[in-house]
Structure 1
Amino acid sequence: MRRKFWIAIVAFALSLSACNAARLDQPAPETLDDIEAELRQHVEILASDEFEGRRPGTDGERKTLRYLADTWEAAGLISGTNDPAHPWLAPVELAVRAPETATMKFRTGSRVRAVPDGQVKLFTSGRRALLADAPILFVGTQGSELEPSVLTGKVALMIWDHPARERQRTALLANGAAAVLAIVLESAEFDQLAGIREKGTYRLAGSEGGAQIDGFMSEQAAFAIFGVEQIRSLFGVVESPAFRPKLLNVTADMEVASAAGAVRTHNLIAKLPGANPDGEAVLLLAHWDHFGRCGRGQTTDLICSGAVDNASGLAVLSGIAKRLAAGPKLDRDVYFVATTAEEWGLLGAIAFTRDPPIPLDSIVAAFNIDTIGVAPRGSPVAIVGAGLTPLDAQIEAIAGQLGRDVIKDQFAAGFIQRQDGWILLQRDVPSLMVSSAFAQPELMGRYTKDRYHRPTDRVASVELGGAAEDMLLHIALVRHFASLPSQNGPAI
């Protein structure tokens, strides 16, 4: 019964002329199986070894952007840069820092603590940074709530294995920590993080700050430096409401150097022109980048292909473009953006907001599509960004028309600052992610633990059932928000 219902919905949502009498020469309406097959074909290409992990500034970038531009142009989209000098591709200039040398000592009084070889990795955002006799403060999972007076001059020792880790590290450095070290419990993840960072770290050109130090240490290193009993005791109390950062009886000397470089990368911007443009627009975006060749050691699989993150999002974005362009003309313009350097701090989204092809206040709704290939058919959806825009009620109503339940819990909220839509929200653009993947904590947790940012994020493990249904939902959402207010009725 569920399958028959969805086949009917697909036929209704994608019909080009629902009011016309059926013609014998018309093709049969596509099914969810058809949509899944199409999405998988996109993912297989974008996450293939030929695309080399889609790292900015590499041949993998060139192949990725050529494939997407060709796909979108064939669907009927046009360049959306509004810049004749740069059709389709909006340049983004990045500064890159590649590690050169790193030395360290950890001491208790005059006693130097032995550090296992290769189990602590340090990096700097500047040419050279050093610390001498800096106290080490264990902060657990705390970050933005800590005042500069608590952090200044100290090495903040954090736990890596929690969802808000990138946000925590950024907050600790911004709030005055002299350095940030993260304890990584799983050896495979430690190796993966080291492999990614050793190839360099990106920032937007011109935004370089001071020479900050951050890095990772394995559980083995944490035991050796701080003692097994102390680390286990700290991990045991960190979730307690009464937990407060604790100054440890260890100080650190660090000297880290890096080499500077530059990379030119690109956002891909396309447009589906509206029939009755009123100066407002709908925006769809998905990041195209991943980590390239990121494996280390003896592994034979060296490429982080990013099949789920985010070839699946690009596939859905391309499927939406194809069907909207082939369907009834929309009133408003719809922009499609594939952003660069999302994995390095949402840099492509920042660049987009600094030099947008249209005024940001003209965007009535923006939908980010990221890491969508996780959930099976029949899954509910969650709104990442729920409560932060005035769009929730309309989205819930449209989802209900398509038989989709909207889950309201805190799991999805934990990802709001980890995706491109967050940058748009900071500029008052109503931006959301509507996704079945983030309505499935167990499945997303399993993906994050086993495949996220690893070479194991391969095509064979992508689940596109929920993604196919989410694609239809996004088509309905865009049709709704791209309609002029006087015509803004049913979404499908």
Structure 2
Amino acid sequence: MIRTTLALAAATLLTACSATGDSALDIPDVAMGEISEDTLRDIVRELSSDEFEGRMPGTIGEEKTVALLIDRFEKAGLQPGNNGSWTQDVPIVTIEGSNFSTLRVGGPAAYLEFEPRKDFVAVSYREVPEISLEDSEMVFVGYGINAPERGWNDYEGVDMTGKTAVILVNDPDYETDGLEGNFNGRAMTYYGRWSYKYEEAARQGAAAALIVHDEFPAAYGWNVVESSWSGPAGYAQRENKGMDQTLANGWIQKGVAEAILTAAGQDLAELTAAAKQKDFKPVPLGIAASLSFENSFESLTTKNVIGVLPGSERPDEYIIHTAHWDHLGTCPADDEGDDICNGAIDNATGTAALVALAEAHSKAGAPDRSLVFLAVTAEEQGLLGAYHYATNPVFPLDQTVGGLNMDALLMGGPAKDVTVVGAGKSELDDFLEAALAQTGLVATPEPTPEKGFYYRSDHFAFAKRGVPMLYIDPGLDLVDGGTEAGIKVQDAYYAGPYHSPNDEFDENWDWSGIMGLMDTFYLLGRSLGNSTSWPNWVEGDEFRATRDEDCAASEAGC
């Protein structure tokens, strides 16, 4: 079945005010495309079949997935995207810790011991067989943020070399009701993510970093921490084998943090309140941490799949579309003994969307700029395929105008809106507004910005490198039942099928809501592809400085 929607030309302006308010963007009027619902159905059905064994990188499931994508990209009219090849090798290493000691904390007034998994979890990003943290002085560093553009530095005045940073989760104003504050109020910034906190601790020279788990600001319970931080974890393979990272990164239960600070003559609640203020200074605790464990590691090479529709006028300017093809392989079996995590929603849907959009754009003819369709690997292991491409781009990032990400498209039926994850971050929002004027939908900000979903999918690897990226999900304001019904659909998925053997294809799915979203994606890609503008991040966004620096140094791009 081919779904065709007539363009509503009068509804789209040729230009629109930018999100920063200091320039006008060229937002061309473009016609709707022809999106094949049959393509979406067929690819999701096939990718999520048991034959693909859950699409784990390095398995027969990867081989089948890569072959399918190459075949469908070629049939869609794309060209190989990596200098004549359809794939890009992504070398990764998996590291697994074992034989953990207790976490031992000692000082003049107390000696404490904490049990692995029950009280703390820890990993090392270093490819070394043994980790030994011995008598490392502990320092409470608030939220562990160094953000010069916001006038904030939780490490000011302290030399962290060889020390252990004790860090609060999220960022300082997460309890704010609105979106105003030093760190965007209730909406989490990248500074609130655990990945940033570990990176910054390493930059500061810390030997270890321990994040204090608190369920509300973390947005998940200790059970999630325990399961996610146990067993093998994947990392990008690095020439220095991760030796610029801390010896150990981990989480401690809130009660453990309270006990440690009490032993240091401090109070967690008082220090947490102080850490919310701009004049906070790090607090040496006068006690030391010790921890040891063993590491085993294994290397493998997995693949990104890349197709390109070369632009007709400016082929050296690129619009990127991303979705991850991988899933978990096997996982704990359900009551019927099924242990294949099929990943139909997550993310066979987004992968199928790449192909359907490629077909539609190719049928309409190439826009002025080139369109890149990038199916990345190893998202479930930490966005590794996206990070590898962003670090080793086939198409230069300063020539990449912006991009769109598709991940886990829920089947809730027809909706009145689309959900914008990370709304207000860039001038891409203006292109979105114009596209929605044609589809008749509206943009709804994500309902839980404090959970930081913008920093959890593949587009983030590009945003971190300065490339403006949009992340849009199906709407929650359903035609049948409104927002209450939409939230029930979302909650039911994440409480049930998500990351389980029950994320399977259903022939009875209602695709109408997805098709409205697909129209939006198509219009965005087409409009960006024909525009002469280079949309940027808004002033003050954490990625603006990186983009500005790249553009200032660029001779061929932005």
Inter-CA distance 251–116: structure 2 relative to 1 (3 Å threshold):
same
Task: Tell me, in whole angstroms, the C-alpha distance in 2 between the residues paired with 1:151 and 1:380.
Answer: 47
Equivalent residue, structure 2, for 1:281:
318
1:421 aligns with 2:454: no
Equivalent residue, structure 2, for 1:490:
none
Tell me the amino acid that sits aligned with residue 214 of structure 1.
N
SS of equivalent to 2:394: coil
Residue deviations 1:301-327 (CA, integer Å, cap 9, x gap): 655544443332212222212322334
Q: Would you say the 8 A contact 2:306–2:373 is kept in 1?
A: yes
Which of residues 148, 155, 160 in structure 2 aligns to 1:147? Answer: 155
1:454 aligns with 2:499: yes
More deviation, 74-83/447-456: 447-456
Tell me the amino acid that sits aligned with residue 56 of structure 1.
P
Equivalent residue, structure 1, for 2:518:
471
Equivalent residue, structure 2, for 1:62:
63
Which of residues 215, 227, 238 in structure 2 aligns to 1:205? Answer: 238
Equivalent residue, structure 2, for 1:129:
131
SS of equivalent to 1:42: helix
SS of equivalent to 2:293: strand
Task: Tell me, in whole angstroms, the C-alpha distance in 2 between the residues paired with 1:412 and 1:387.
Answer: 12
Equivalent residue, structure 2, for 1:489:
none
Equivalent residue, structure 1, for 2:379:
342
Matches of residues 298-337 of structure 1 in structure 2 within 5 Å? 302-337=339-374
Task: Tell me, in whole angstroms, the C-alpha distance in 2 between the residues paired with 1:438 and 1:378.
Answer: 7
More deviation, 301-310/205-214: 301-310
Equivalent residue, structure 1, for 2:93:
95
Which of residues 4, 12, 15 in structure 1 aligns to 2:6? Answer: 12
Q: Would you say the 8 A contact 2:322–2:354 is kept in 1?
A: yes
After TM superposition, give the deviation of residue 12 of structure 1 in Å: 2.3
Equivalent residue, structure 2, for 1:22:
none
Q: Would you say the 8 A contact 2:333–2:340 is kept in 1?
A: no
Task: Tell me, in whole angstroms, the C-alpha distance in 2 between the residues paired with 1:275 and 1:131.
Answer: 57
Task: Tell me, in whole angstroms, the C-alpha distance in 2 between the residues paired with 1:92 and 1:388.
Answer: 29
Tell me the amino acid that sits aligned with residue 131 of structure 1.
L
Task: Tell me, in whole angstroms, the C-alpha distance in 1 between the residues paired with 2:489 and 2:161.
Answer: 36
Task: Tell me, in whole angstroms, the C-alpha distance in 2 between the residues paired with 1:379 and 1:168.
Answer: 38
Task: Tell me, in whole angstroms, the C-alpha distance in 2 between the residues paired with 1:426 and 1:360.
Answer: 11
Which of residues 383, 388, 394 in structure 1 aligns to 2:431? Answer: 394
SS of equivalent to 1:406: strand
Q: Would you say the 8 A contact 1:92–1:264 is kept in 2?
A: yes
Inter-CA distance 132–390: structure 2 relative to 1 (3 Å threshold):
same
Tell me the amino acid that sits aligned with residue 89 of structure 1.
T
Q: Would you say the 8 A contact 1:157–1:183 is kept in 2?
A: yes
SS of equivalent to 2:316: coil
Inter-CA distance 154–437: structure 2 relative to 1 (3 Å threshold):
farther
Which of residues 469, 488, 492 in structure 2 aligns to 1:431? Answer: 469
Tell me the amino acid that sits aligned with residue 75 of structure 1.
A
Matches of residues 28-427 of structure 1 in structure 2 within 5 Å? 35=37, 39-83=40-84, 87-109=85-107, 113=112, 115-116=114-115, 118-119=117-118, 120-126=120-126, 127=128, 128-137=130-139, 142-144=144-146, 145-147=153-155, 149=158, 152-158=161-167, 164-182=193-211, 186=221, 188-195=223-230, 198-206=231-239, 208-210=241-243, 212-217=247-252, 222=256, 234=268, 238=272, 241=276, 251-276=288-313, 278-295=315-332, 302-373=339-410, 376-384=413-421, 386-407=423-444, 414-427=452-465
Q: How many residues align?
A: 456
Q: Would you say the 8 A contact 2:92–2:234 is kept in 1?
A: no
Inter-CA distance 279–125: structure 2 relative to 1 (3 Å threshold):
closer
1:483 aligns with 2:530: yes
Residue deviations 1:31-88 (CA, integer Å, cap 9, x gap): 99x83x75354334334444343333233322222222222223332312123xxx21
Inter-CA distance 406–132: structure 2 relative to 1 (3 Å threshold):
same
Inter-CA distance 456–12: structure 2 relative to 1 (3 Å threshold):
same
Residue deviations 1:93-134 (CA, integer Å, cap 9, x gap): 223323243223424558654545652433222213211233
Task: Tell me, in whole angstroms, the C-alpha distance in 2 between the residues paired with 1:166 and 1:431.
Answer: 19
After TM superposition, give the deviation of residue 287 of structure 1 in Å: 2.0
After TM superposition, give the deviation of residue 403 of structure 1 in Å: 0.7
More deviation, 99-108/89-98: 99-108
Tell me the amino acid that sits aligned with residue 166 of structure 1.
S
Residue deviations 1:424-475 (CA, integer Å, cap 9, x gap): 3444434322333699895798479636973267137998554332111111
The runs of 5 or more residues in structure 2 that have no matched partner are 9-31, 147-152, 172-187, 216-220, 478-482, 534-558
SS of equivalent to 1:477: helix
Task: Tell me, in whole angstroms, the C-alpha distance in 2 between the residues paired with 1:181 and 1:418.
Answer: 20
After TM superposition, give the deviation of residue 229 of structure 1 in Å: 13
TM-score, structure 2 normalization: 0.67
Inter-CA distance 222–302: structure 2 relative to 1 (3 Å threshold):
farther
Equivalent residue, structure 2, for 1:23:
none
TM-score, structure 1 normalization: 0.74
More deviation, 145-154/441-450: 441-450
Task: Tell me, in whole angstroms, the C-alpha distance in 1 between the residues paired with 2:248 and 2:334.
Answer: 25
Task: Tell me, in whole angstroms, the C-alpha distance in 1 between the residues paired with 2:124 and 2:298.
Answer: 14
Q: Would you say the 8 A contact 2:386–2:461 is kept in 1?
A: yes
More deviation, 202-211/473-482: 202-211
Q: Would you say the 8 A contact 1:269–1:337 is kept in 2?
A: yes
Q: Would you say the 8 A contact 2:136–2:163 is kept in 1?
A: yes
SS of equivalent to 1:285: strand
SS of equivalent to 1:64: helix
More deviation, 176-185/92-101: 176-185
Inter-CA distance 212–445: structure 2 relative to 1 (3 Å threshold):
farther
Tell me the amino acid that sits aligned with residue 252 of structure 1.
A
Task: Tell me, in whole angstroms, the C-alpha distance in 2 between the residues paired with 1:136 and 1:449.
Answer: 37
Task: Tell me, in whole angstroms, the C-alpha distance in 1 between the residues paired with 2:525 and 2:370.
Answer: 10
After TM superposition, give the deviation of residue 268 of structure 1 in Å: 0.5
More deviation, 449-458/375-384: 449-458
